[in-house]
């Protein structure tokens, strides 16, 4: 986003009941099952969901105790937890097919450590990390508030709050903010579409949601009432996988920075941490967040690239968007090289990624979340490099 002038910028979010997010949740459920049984399992699980049908596919290498039957059982529990007990998609009645098979030996030989060879990246690719000072979590504001609106609705629905009675799991949000000289100053429009029970009227749903939306935004940021669009099609009864097919990895902009920063193109859910699509994107966010948290810049983009089977990154690039406070980006890259080992193994060990920690990341974004020391989740959101970065730049 620009740092001068006046402009509008929009980001969207989707709830855990959106078909693509149902697929992400199931894929990460499969991953966590394997990592619980063996922290060094290899998993690349893709999920398809549609009307009363779930298909699991992909490649795995892990203990035989994680059977197809067990994974199908966990899939049903995941669907139940999301809240689907509808005729067209029901946790008890959906047909589940498991087509996971053994990981390719050719991929494995490139990734596995052997002799003097360190563990290699699970694929080639580019990954990006980003942070900015727009919100307390150092995330782009449009995405931050789009997530927050849906999280609050979901929490109320799960708590059986009467304020959202009749609302169902599938939902989307979209927040457009006005920027002046690079700073967000208020919302110009908000869109929320939420699945609901038969018989609820559009005006009633708007009345229910308006206070939730307004309280999710900073004081004075609420858009005009004629720019608040709630269920703009009028009815949204048929939803979830019954209304639209869902696939793993189809919401990668929602998962990252809402379009405010570049994306390398790789999805996260269902992939174990040897896949740099996931682990290196986490590492890049971790580094970028620490740079901004240390006060070295107001914005930071980091790019890192890999080749399959090669342990060291091929390139590391920083862009502080002109907001660096007397920080040379070349020096920054050298300082980070001394603080964080960006090899696949180094990332896994530094961020403690070989654990069953991924289901919580499958909805409402992988970034801008609160680390949980007890659960070991969202370790890439820690700011434990701040003191060393400040010392390195004399702050």
- 271 annotated to a ligand binding site: yes
- In a 3-state reduction of DSSP, which class is residue 388? helix
In the predicted model, what is the mean pLDDT of residues 364-382? 96
Has domain 125-133+275-392 been given CATH number 3.40.718.10?
Answer: no
Tell me whether residue 172 is annotated as binding: yes
Cα–Cα dist 369/357, whole Å: 13
Q: Characterize 222-253 residue by residue with b for buried, 16 or more Cβ atoms within 10 angstroms of its Cβ, and e for exposed.
A: bbeeeebebbeeeebebbbbbbeebbbbbbbe
Instruction: Determine contact, residues 262/331, Cβ cutoff 8 Å.
Output: no
Q: Give the pLDDT of residue 3.
A: 78
The H-assigned helical ranges of the chain are 19-37, 68-82, 105-111, 141-158, 202-216, 240-243, 252-255, 276-293, 329-339, 344-351, 386-392
**∠57-62-66 over CA atoms, to 5°?**
75
Confidence label for 124 from pLDDT (cuts 50, 70 and 90): confident
- Residue 260 annotated as binding? no
Name the pairing type of β-strands 299-306 and 315-319. Answer: antiparallel
**Residue 165 is labelled as binding a ligand:** no
Q: Is 275 annotated as a binding residue?
A: yes
Question: So what's the pLDDT on residue 112?
Answer: 61
Backbone phi, psi, residue 221, to 5° = -95, -10
Model pLDDT for residues 341-353, shown as the tens digit of each residue = 999 999 999 999 9
* Residue 18 annotated as binding site: yes
* 37 and 65 Cβ atoms separated by less than 8 Å: yes
Place of tokens 């690039």: 317
In this prediction the pTM is 0.95
Q: What is the pLDDT of residue 111?
A: 65
Confidence at residue 119, expressed as pLDDT on a 0 to 100 scale: 76
pLDDT tens-digit series, residues 267-284: 999 999 999 999 999 999
State yes or no: pLDDT of 126 exceeds 60. yes
Distance separating alpha carbons of residues 164 and 157, to the nearest angstrom: 6
Is 225 one of the annotated binding-site residues?
no
Residue 169 pLDDT exceeds 90? yes
CATH 3.30.300.10 positions along the chain are 6-14+141-238, 125-133+275-392
Tokens read off for 115: 């002799």
Does 137 count as an annotated binding residue?
no
What are phi and psi for residue 225, nearest 5 degrees?
-60, -35
Backbone angles phi, psi at 260, to 5 degrees: -80, -15
206 assigned binding-site residue: no
100-109, 114-123, 269-278, 367-376: which has the minimum mean pLDDT?
A: 114-123
In contact, 153 and 167? CB cutoff 8 Å: yes
Q: For 225, which DSSP code?
A: G
Q: Is residue 80 annotated as involved in ligand binding?
A: no
Give per-residue pLDDT as tens, 311-330.
899 999 999 999 998 999 99
- CATH number of the domain located at residue range(s) 6-14+141-238 in this protein: 3.30.300.10
Please report the pLDDT score of residue 354 as a whole number: 96
| Structure confidence at residue 118 as a pLDDT band (50, 70, 90) | low
Nearest Cα residue to 392 out of 329, 323, 332: 332
Mark out the alpha helices in 40-119 (DSSP H runs).
68-82, 105-111
């Amino acid at each position: 986003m620009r740092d001068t002038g006046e402009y509008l910028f929009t980001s969207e979010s989707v709830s855990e009941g959106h078909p693509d997010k149902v697929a992400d949740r199931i894929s990460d459920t499969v991953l966590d099952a394997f990592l619980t049984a063996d922290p060094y399992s290899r998993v690349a699980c893709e999920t398809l969901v549609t009307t009363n049908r779930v298909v699991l596919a992909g490649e795995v290498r892990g203990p035989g105790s994680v059977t197809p039957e067990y994974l199908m059982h966990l899939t049903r529990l995941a669907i139940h937890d999301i809240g689907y007990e509808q005729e067209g998609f029901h946790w008890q009645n959906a047909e589940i097919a498991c087509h996971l098979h053994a990981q390719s030996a050719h991929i494995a030989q490139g990734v596995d450590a052997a002799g003097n060879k360190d563990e290699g990246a699970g694929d080639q690719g580019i990954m990006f990390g980003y942070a900015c000072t727009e919100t307390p979590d150092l995330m782009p504001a449009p995405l931050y508030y789009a997530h927050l609106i849906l999280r609050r609705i979901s929490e109320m629905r799960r708590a059986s709050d009467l304020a959202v009675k009749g609302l169902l799991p599938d939902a989307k949000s979209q927040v457009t903010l006005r920027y002046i000289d690079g700073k967000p100053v208020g919302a110009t429009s908000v869109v929320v579409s939420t699945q609901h029970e038969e018989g609820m009227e559009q005006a009633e749903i708007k009345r229910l949601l308006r206070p939730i939306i307004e309280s999710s935004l900073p004081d004075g940021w609420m858009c005009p009432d004629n720019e608040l669009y709630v269920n703009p099609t009028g009815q949204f009864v048929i939803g979830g996988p019954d209304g639209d097919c869902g696939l793993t990895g189809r919401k990668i902009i929602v998962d990252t920075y809402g379009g405010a920063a570049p994306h390398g193109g790789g999805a996260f859910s269902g992939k174990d941490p040897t896949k740099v699509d996931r682990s290196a994107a986490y590492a890049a966010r971790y580094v970028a967040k620490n740079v901004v948290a240390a006060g070295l810049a107001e914005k930071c983009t980091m790019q890192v690239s890999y080749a399959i089977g090669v342990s060291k990154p091929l390139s590391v690039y920083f862009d502080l968007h002109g907001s660096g406070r007397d920080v040379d980006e070349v020096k920054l890259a050298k300082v980070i090289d001394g603080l964080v080992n960006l090899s696949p193994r180094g990332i896994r060990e530094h961020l403690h990624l070989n654990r069953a920690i991924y289901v919580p990341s499958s909805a409402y974004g992988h970034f801008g979340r609160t680390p949980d020391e007890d659960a070991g989740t969202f370790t890439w959101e820690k700011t434990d490099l701040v003191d060393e970065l400040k010392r390195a730049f004399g702050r």
